[in-house]
């Protein structure tokens, strides 16, 4: 059985990724800062501070060694860099710590984890799949740090595909609004606001975490090495839509 490694596995999108990959027959090694959810169907779970793997090389080596141990020589079909943090604030209040935390988790960790598992991924002709965001291309006020980190993640995806060539496929998905408990919580008591967001998309819908996960599985399953360096929007068409004043 091939294995996949999924970061940020306890959140709405992460748990959907774990479920769908597990249903597709992959052995899932999952990690998140939070404790393991009781119903998460993964083979192994590591409660791990992703940022610490960036800042502390000894800690990172310990985490990666533990994951290699449970991998136990099986092919590593994919590393899914899903974990992210979203620290919001205007340009005049964002702190150095906000920037460091955002870049550590959203950009440097995906690179360092891909670097660490490159031998296993190359041996399995595997995939690094980065969860970027529509904010890499289109953003709004107070998302400066998050949008910058995602734009850099998308750029890194392209650059790594050029760097690694046929050794390992490197791709990214750029989702727009995805229906998760976190998104719903942001509209608590404001159902009309949620409907407005839904109808703002040309598809008149919000993306589903399961749909995103199915797309991820299809990318990983594909044996076409030409699917490399691809940045795939999952945005209900909103990335193509121009909104003029008064419209």
What is the chain's mean pLDDT, rounded?
96
Quote the CA–CA distance of 93 and 213 in Å, as a whole number: 35
Where residue 169 sits, what CATH number does that domain have? 3.40.50.720
Does 202 fall in a domain? no
What domain count does the chain have? 1
Which pLDDT value is given to residue 76? 98
Q: Which domain holds residue 64?
A: 3-176+208-230
Does 50 fall in a domain? yes
Tens digit of each residue's pLDDT (9 = 90 or more) over 194-213: 999 999 999 999 999 999 99
Which pTM value belongs to this model? 0.96
Does 37 fall in a domain? yes
Quote the CA–CA distance of 246 and 126 in Å, as a whole number: 48
Does 19 fall in a domain? yes
Quote the CA–CA distance of 30 and 28 in Å, as a whole number: 6
Tens digit of each residue's pLDDT (9 = 90 or more) over 65-123: 999 999 999 999 999 999 999 999 999 999 999 999 999 999 999 999 999 999 999 99
């Amino acid at each position: 059985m091939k294995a996949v490694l999924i970061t940020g596995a306890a959140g709405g999108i992460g748990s959907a990724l774990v479920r769908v990959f597990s249903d597709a027959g992959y052995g899932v090694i999952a990690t998140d800062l939070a404790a393991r959810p009781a119903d998460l169907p993964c083979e192994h779970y590591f409660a791990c501070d992703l940022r610490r793997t960036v800042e502390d090389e000894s800690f990172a080596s310990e985490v990666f060694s533990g994951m290699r141990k449970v991998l136990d020589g099986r092919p590593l079909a994919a590393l899914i860099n899903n974990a992210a943090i979203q620290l919001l604030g205007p340009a005049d209040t964002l702190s150095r710590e906000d920037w460091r935390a955002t870049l550590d988790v959203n950009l440097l960790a995906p690179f360092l984890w891909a670097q660490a598992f490159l031998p296993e991924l190359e041996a399995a002709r595997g995939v690094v799949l980065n969860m970027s965001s529509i904010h890499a291309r289109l953003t709004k006020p107070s998302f400066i740090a998050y949008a910058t980190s995602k734009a850099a993640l998308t750029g890194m995806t392209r650059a790594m595909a050029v760097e690694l060539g046929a050794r390992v496929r490197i791709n990214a998905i750029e989702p727009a609004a995805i229906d998760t408990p976190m998104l719903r919580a942001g509209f608590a008591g404001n159902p009309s606001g949620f409907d407005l967001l839904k109808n703002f998309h040309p598809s008149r819908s919000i993306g589903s975490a399961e749909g995103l996960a199915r797309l991820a599985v299809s990318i990983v399953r594909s044996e076409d090495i030409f699917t490399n360096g691809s940045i795939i929007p999952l945005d209900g068409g909103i990335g193509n839509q121009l909104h003029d004043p008064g419209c």
